[in-house]
Amino acid sequence: MYKSSAGIQLCSTCPANSSSTTNRENCLCNQGYEQTDQSSLQCTMCQRGTYKENISDQSCKPCDAGTYADQEGSTYCTACTGNASSPVASDNITACLACEVGKYKLVNGTDTCTPCAIGTYKNMSGPGACYECPPLTGTPQIGSFSIEDCICIAGYYQSNVSNCTICPTGMYSSIAGSTACTACDAGTYADQEGSTYCTACTGNASSPVASDNITACLCLPGYTGSYAEGCRACEVGKYKLVNGTDTCTPCAIGTYKNMSGPGACYEACEVGKYKLVNGTDTCTPCAIGTYKNIGEKGGPCTICSAGYYADVPGQTQCTACDAGTYADQEGSTYCTACTGNASSPVASDNITACLCLPGYT
């Protein structure tokens, strides 16, 4: 009831299911009721699964998890008992259920059941904690409900139904539940037992499959030195074709290499060129007065015979002296002309080949 002004007036009654201490404007819905019509004070019972514990203009609240309200107009929610829990806004005691397998709740209250953590399991519903997996095993996800969910952790493998065996050096297992360890790839190593990954060699080095130490990282072909001091590229004119600490080898006579680093020496010098010294980076054109008409490993250019000449470098054959000329020296770079109305055959190799022309004696 309320009385909004001083005087002899009687107190007025608030609308149904509401109360006030002064005037109508202060009439508020009672406990267990909420105002559903904002234009007029009309109070309606809280629905099942909700409650309101005081006189106010607030709405009914849903019951917390682990509680229920099975009557309309409830002013409180009843807690589930016996290690049971229920969803939010439960409206019947039948919603109070024991924790299912794979979940637990260890204290009284309205908390929901919690999934078992990774590495644990619970194979019964109701009260009780989750069990730890056997040593060296774990579960891949939360909420596990069987010991069979406990599998070997990464770094180990399932050697039989009940045993987990540690991966040896040079091998690894990156995921739980592996039935075998995997050998480290070439270029990587694992120097610890129980490895979950392999470490890559760096700095132009590699290693064999299943390497178990950084010392297995050897310089790649085309590089020399050691992993500790660093692998250096073979210089121009040198090669190295295998992994290891070997030094780079100069290219053989007749071959060349014009790049540093990996790669073999190029095969024989092409015709017209030669190479006489190990390690020279390229082949050199034959000098004037010489020729080379066979691509071969090594060997000098051939000197032109008398009666022939080569006047430019890199020749593949010498040229015969024209008629009326001669070359009386090996390695000639030109032919000498006959003089005084004399001439000579092609490829003449001496001045004595110069004979008087017809009409001259």
Query: What's the CATH number where 45 sits?
Result: 2.10.50.10
356 belongs to a structural domain: no
Which has more pLDDT, 282 or 44? 44
Residue 244's pLDDT is 87
Residue 294's pLDDT is 74
Contact call for residues 273 and 286 (beta carbons, < 8 A): yes
6 belongs to a structural domain: yes
Q: In percent, how much of the chain has pLDDT > 70? A: 89
For residue 30, give its domain range.
Answer: 1-96
Average pLDDT over every residue of 28-41: 85
Average confidence score pLDDT of the chain: 86
Average pLDDT over every residue of 274-279: 70
Which has more pLDDT, 277 or 307? 307
Distance CA 231, CA 187 (A): 14
27 belongs to a structural domain: yes
Could you tell me which of 51, 35, 74 has the C-alpha nearest to residue 15? 35
153 belongs to a structural domain: no
148 belongs to a structural domain: no
Distance CA 89, CA 122 (A): 27
Non-local CB neighbours of 18 within 8 Å, separated by 6+ positions: 27, 28, 29, 30, 33, 41, 43
Distance CA 51, CA 183 (A): 64
Domain count, the chain: 1
Does the pLDDT value for residue 278 go beyond 80?
no
Taking only the tens place, the pLDDT of each residue in 215-239 is 999 999 999 988 778 899 999 889 9
Taking only the tens place, the pLDDT of each residue in 108-138 is 666 778 899 999 999 988 778 899 998 998 8
38 belongs to a structural domain: yes
237 belongs to a structural domain: no
| Collapsed DSSP state (helix, strand, coil) of residue 351 | helix
